Amino acid sequence: MSDLARHFLMNYVAKIKKKFSMETVSSFTVRNLYVSSFTDILQSFSAEEAVRRTFTWGFEMGHEYMLELEKDVEKLKPRVDAPAIAKMAWYIFSGKDLSGIDSKWMNIDDAKFFMVKFWDDNCPWCRGVELAEKNLKMCSYPAGAFEGAYQTASMLMGLKNFVMVREIKCKAAGDEHCEFVIVDIPLEHLEKVVSKLEDVVPGFYSQLDYNFSKKLKEAVL
């Protein structure tokens, strides 16, 4: 079966599973719970702390979810399947389809990394929230979930890489959509890519730096 046909099938199976699974939860409930938690933390702590905490919750969830899927993960093709998985994950956890997705290998001088970018014009995680004054991107929970899941899946597949995921645009901050970037860096290129990433993906470290992801990986994995 071609990769395209396989990805189509994966997406189809996810939709069927969601439809008939006993464990689907209303995205309305999840979103309201998330928005309430985020705004609560925002009132008690700083904006930075709200982003750090919700990202960490997401990371732990993504990590655990992938461990449960260990057998399925072993059948995946590294990088080739990443966009299809990202699409499927967004559908399962956000309750709707992505508006767009793009993936490619990128170069910084002689160093390279794999990048997946995806966006939602009507993102459920921050819907109805207005944080433009603080310029705060608040969909840190799904961003953390993708980082935890991708990093854990990489480990299960035996890849020697380092993964970071950031939300670089957010509707709550006044942007046209919520946009997420997954950066999958082969370890031999880590240092160079990490230090020059902002040149290629502006705003990548605007809320969370490399050390944050490094510490999270060391603590959880």
| DSSP line for 188-216 | GGHHHHHHHHHHHSTTTTSSS-HHHHHHH
Shortest distance in whole angstroms from residue 61 CB to Zn ion: 17
Part of the chain binding Zn ion (CB under 5 A), chosen from 10-18, 58-66, 137-145, 202-210? 137-145
Q: Is 143 in the site for Zn ion (CB under 5 A)?
A: no
Q: How far is CA 59 from CA 55, 64, 70, 92, 211, in A?
A: 6, 9, 17, 16, 15
Among 178, 185, 208, 216, binds Zn ion (CB under 5 A): 178
139 interacts with Zn ion by CB under 5 A: yes
Does residue number 181 form part of the binding site for Zn ion (CB under 5 A)? Answer: no
- Say whether residue 126 binds Zn ion (CB under 5 A): yes
Residues 6+ apart with CB under 8 A from 218: none
Residue in the structure block whose two tokens are 């702590």? 45
Whole-number minimum distance, CB 208 to Zn ion, in Å? 14
User: Which three-class secondary structure state does DSSP give residue 74?
Assistant: coil
Shortest CB 159 distance to Zn ion, Å: 28
Tokens 């072993």 correspond to what residue? 74
Helix (H) or strand (E) holding 104: strand 100-108
How far apart (Å, rounded) are the C-alpha atoms in residues 55 and 57?
Answer: 6
Cβ proximity to Zn ion: between 126 and 194 the closer is 126
Q: Of the ranges 65-73, 75-83, 118-126, 145-153, which one interacts with Zn ion (CB under 5 A)? A: 118-126
State the minimum distance, in angstroms, from the CB of residue 173 to Zn ion.
7
Of the pair 39, 195, the CB lying nearest Zn ion is at: 39
Closest by CA position to 164, among listed 97, 110, 215: 215
Residue (73 or 181) nearer to Zn ion, CB:
181
Interface stretch with Zn ion, choices 18-26, 42-50, 122-130, 140-148 (CB under 5 A):
122-130
Type of residue numbered 99: S
Q: Rule CB under 5 A: which residues touch Zn ion?
A: 123, 126, 139, 170, 178
